[in-house]
Amino acid sequence: MVLGSACCNHHHDNDRLSEEQRVALATMSPEQRTSLIQKHRALGKGLIVAGVGTFAGVCGGLWNSVGAGALGVGMGAATGLWVAAWRGPLRYAKLVDQVHRDQLKASTFGGNMDNNEPIPHLNNDGDDDVGNNKSTEGMDHSAA
């Protein structure tokens, strides 16, 4: 099972999952895929926050030495973390989310989302009260 981050698969395009990864994700339960997406999103957000902290720390630490040049040094230090978040866990979470959505569509609608058929309604019994959720069962229909 190959579920590593997409940025680590140098022999694959970073915008796509390998067939092995797609199969592994498809065999997971929806809850497992959701957990994997949340984990990678949290990791990406953590890298972004670490980048903000790095920016602030480097700027604050160097401000007395180099003045406004500390802003450039702080940006340079933080950019690596921001790019790593975007290219790694956030992109992987997006790719897993796409597989997750595809799996949900396939399981919910029999795999055919482009057939323009109406979504079945619980009260779709073919009469004129379709969709209003009014049941006339058990009511007295005699004229008063």
Give 57-93 pLDDT, tens digit per residue: 999 999 999 999 999 999 999 999 999 999 999 999 9
Give a yes or no: residue 5 inside a domain: no
Give a yes or no: residue 137 inside a domain: no
First to last CA, the chain: 70
- Indicate the number of domains in the chain: 1
pLDDT of 131 higher than 80: no
Question: Whole domain around residue 85: which residue ranges?
Answer: 69-105
Cα–Cα dist 67/139, whole Å:
82
Give a yes or no: residue 112 inside a domain: no
- Closest of 12, 40, 52 to residue 21, by C-alpha: 12
- What's the pLDDT score for residue 1? 43
Give a yes or no: residue 35 inside a domain: no
pLDDT of 11 higher than 50: no
- What's the pLDDT score for residue 67? 93
